[in-house]
Amino acid sequence: MPPTLKTTLTFSEKKTLDPQQLLSLFRQAPWAKGRTLEDAREMLRHTDLALCAWDGEQLVGFGRVLTDFVYRATIWDVIVDQAYQKQGIGSEIVQRILHHPRLKKVELFWLCTRRPGFYEKLGFNSGEQTGMVWSRSKNSRQE
């Protein structure tokens, strides 16, 4: 998009988006390049809340939540199209998640990231808890 054109972005809660659009975003991120269409479709089916940023009909940002809607929520897959980064879209997605009416009772939001600086600016900190990960691919090699 030419830099002289200002675009109006819209944000929506949408779990029924076309997984192919989501794959286009995932292919831009090293942590999500290997994801498949069927896996993205399945992931969306089991997501409790999905927030999208749109430029017209083009998906330009995405974030999702898994939650019990009372005590805990985990934020996953916050991603913004490379051509739209550094415009506050990722921050807006996270803020909309944190202040979403369906999540207003949630005590603790948790996430995993390779970019802690981005989330620290939004009020997240790593001193609150210790996260641990069990990797199926790493553990299957030990069997």
Summarize pLDDT for 49-103 with one digit per residue, the tens.
Answer: 999 999 999 999 999 999 999 999 999 999 999 999 999 999 999 999 999 999 9
Summarize pLDDT for 95-124 with one digit per residue, the tens.
Answer: 999 999 999 999 999 988 777 778 888 888
Q: Is pLDDT of 15 > 90?
A: no
Selected residue with higher pLDDT from 125 and 11 = 11
**Per-residue H/E/C for the chain:** CCCCCCCCEEEEECCCCCHHHHHHHHCCCCCCCCCCHHHHHHHHHCCCEEEEEEECCEEEEEEEEEECCCCEEEEEEEEECHHHCCCCHHHHHHHHHHCCHHHCCCCEEEECCCCHHHHHCCCCCCCCCCCCCCCHHHHHCCC
pLDDT of residue 48: 96
pLDDT bracket for residue 14 (50, 70, 90): confident
pLDDT of residue 2: 46
Cα–Cα distances (Å) from 27 to 34, 101, 106, 125, in that order, read: 8, 31, 31, 28
Threshold 0.85, pTM exceeds: no
pLDDT of residue 142: 60
pLDDT of residue 133: 74
Residues recorded for the chain: 143
